[in-house]
Amino acid sequence: MIEPAGRQRIVGQALFVALFLAILFWRLLPLAPGRIGWPGPDLALCLVLVWVLRRPEQVPVLTIAALFLIEDILLMRPIGLGAALAVIGTEAARKREQRWRELPFMVEWLRVAMLLALMMVANRVLLAIFFLPLPPLGQVILQFIATVAAYPLVAGLAGWALGLPRGRVERDTRHR
């Protein structure tokens, strides 16, 4: 039988993967074909950052890498670039998760915004270095603003509906 802590980790990881794939499926739907609108937030990245900062043991780095690699392939982006940036960004957040947990949410939000900005700048720089087509700067900035604005909503929904509130630490320390 699986121990309760192990079961909770597996259920949390399965829920995370299901939500990530649902967001990816939503992005693939042709909801308004032919209409070019405002770029929306990167909800998958918000979800990953919220989950890593709330329950880091439920989101292993290989899961993040695999899901973002699948997203890169399905959204026809440079294969591996988004996955690499997501892994680097989430591991930077995971490394500082203990310290961020003790701070007010506004500070966490500001730090996540800075992390997202660094990830988006790194993406743009790497695309330019390898002479790949660059998306318009205005759209990148609008997506950044939308993603930063969506982070508190995703964090609030995760705390309310998924049971991922801030500040509660549930680590299994027996196997360390």
pLDDT at 31 over 80: no
Q: pLDDT at residue 173 above 50?
A: no
Length of the chain, in residues: 176
When pLDDT is cut at 50, 70 and 90, the band that residue 176 belongs to is very low
Q: Give the span between the Cα atoms of 176 and 152, in whole angstroms.
A: 33
Average pLDDT over residues 51-79: 95
pLDDT value, residue 34:
66
- Asked if residue 156 has pLDDT above 90, the reply is yes
Report pLDDT for 174: 43
Q: Model confidence at 175, in pLDDT bands (50, 70, 90)? A: very low
Q: For residues 88 and 165, give the distance between their C-alpha atoms in angstroms, rounded to a whole number.
A: 24
Chain centroid to CA 71 = 12
User: Is the model's pTM score more than 0.75?
Assistant: yes
Instruction: Quote the CA–CA distance of 129 and 132 in Å, as a whole number.
Output: 8
Burial class of 100 by CB neighbour count within 10 A (0 to 12, 13 to 18, 19+): middle
The closest alpha carbon to 54, from 12, 2, 114, belongs to: 12
Which of the pair, 100 or 159, is modelled with greater confidence?
159
- In this predicted structure, the answer to whether residue 168 has a pLDDT above a threshold of 60 is no
Query: Residues 97-133: pLDDT tens digits?
Result: 887 778 899 999 999 999 999 999 999 999 999 999 9
pLDDT in the model for residue 1: 59
Burial 61-85, CB ≥16 within 10 A → b, else e:
eeebbebbbebbeeeebeeebbbbb
Residue 2: per-residue pLDDT: 67
